[in-house]
Structure 1
Amino acid sequence: MTKEERLERHKKIHEILRKHGQEILLSHSFIKSHSFIQHGDMSVYEHSINVAERAIRINRFLHAKCVERDLVRGALLHDYFLYDWHIDGKEKGNIHPKLHGFYHPGTALKNACRDFVLTEREKDIIKKHMWPLTIIPPLCREAWVVTLADKYCSAMETIGLHKAKVRVKQIDISETDN
């Protein structure tokens, strides 16, 4: 694949993110997630966008026929827990930061339901993205794709192959075609 083809593919993915995720990307709380570290030096904001981008790629590669709107919105909100789990997890109901993986999907879902109107698929994505820690597996293909994308991105970020950008990664939502 040429550099021009990669840039065009990246541009198309960002168009999909803008189309389906504008409400979330513009929200004050989602923007605030820039200040929370997820894995390594990656912010929750950057991680969530990486997961949404990867989920779009997986969906297209596998021809999974996911509902793209639900896929993108669920991926953007899957870690919408809105606190630094390394520091103040105990204040948010976690006994220990190591248990964050078990508890944060419920917190993210509660916050997302408070701030956005969600479909059942979006709720399933957020609630089940940590499977098998969540015990009950995802019910829809969108949740399976986001679960896979999240595991891939988390592994890449943890071992340092996905690095946070010096300049914060943002999606330019001003060009939305709504």
Structure 2
Amino acid sequence: MKRYQDDKEFMDLVGHLIQHPRFQRLDDITHHHYSTRMKHSINVAYSSYRLAKRFGWDAKSTARGGLLHDFFYYDWRDTKFSKSHAWIHPRVAVRNANKLTTLNRKEKDIILKHMWGATLAPPRYKESYIVTLMDKYWAVKEASYPMRQRLKRRKIFHRKELGSHNQ
């Protein structure tokens, strides 16, 4: 996948948000054990943006909503938040996002409904479904990082082992 920084159109839409000091604070917060909340948010935003663009949908709202979908600072594993996190954090994210920029209705829906499945209200817009799916994809990819690294090392070792038997 093309690096998001090299995508001028994407950066024109959200680069100013990524560079904002409040958003940059997310880079200090661990998210899904092996990523930061900032990296996760950028991954979700960029992959969602590319899909929306491919389908001819609203890529701008998708990028902005995807970027700001997890814009909160608390540790969700803290016991006072853990049971209600799926319901609370989208509302906190919208409130924090509104301090950075003006959100349109679609962007608000993307942020508020990205936990659909864990929450009841379904997304209103097709772009919200993209972000919901990309959020789950990146959560699994980020959380499974150590397992994927072990498998990669095992494959490399196995190839070397097979190569020595063929000689």
TM-score bin, normalised by smaller chain:
0.7 to 0.9
1:53 to 2:46 alignment: yes
Return the offset for 1:23.
2.4
The one-letter code matched in structure 2 to 1:17 is F
- Uncovered stretches (5+) of structure 1, i.e. residues with no partner: 1-5, 164-178
**Which runs of structure 2 are paired with 1:91-170 in the superposition (5 Å)?**
94=81, 97-160=82-145
The one-letter code matched in structure 1 to 2:35 is M
Alignment partners' CA distance in 2, 1:130 and 1:110: 16
The one-letter code matched in structure 1 to 2:24 is I
- The one of the two structures with greater contact order (alpha-carbon pairs below 8 A, sep at least 6) is 1
The size of the alignment, in residue pairs, is 148
Return the offset for 1:136.
0.8
The question of whether the paired residues in 1 share the 8 Å contact of 2:4 and 2:11 is answered with: no
> In structure 1, the residue corresponding to 2:47 is in which secondary structure?
helix
Return the offset for 1:64.
2.7
> In structure 1, the residue corresponding to 2:7 is in which secondary structure?
helix
> Which residue number corresponds to residue 162 of structure 2?
none
1:78 to 2:78 alignment: no
The question of whether the paired residues in 2 share the 8 Å contact of 1:74 and 1:125 is answered with: yes
TM-score if structure 2 supplies the norm length?
0.78
> Which residue number corresponds to residue 169 of structure 1?
none
Pick one of 25, 32, 38 that aligns with 2:31: 38
Give the structure with the higher percent helix.
2
- Uncovered stretches (5+) of structure 2, i.e. residues with no partner: 150-167
Q: What CA RMSD, in Å, does the superposition of the two structures yield over aligned residues?
A: 2.2
Q: Which moved more, 1:143-152 or 1:9-18?
A: 9-18
> In structure 1, the residue corresponding to 2:31 is in which secondary structure?
strand
Alignment partners' CA distance in 1, 2:4 and 2:30: 26
The question of whether the paired residues in 2 share the 8 Å contact of 1:64 and 1:141 is answered with: no
The question of whether the paired residues in 1 share the 8 Å contact of 2:50 and 2:59 is answered with: no
> In structure 2, the residue corresponding to 1:131 is in which secondary structure?
coil
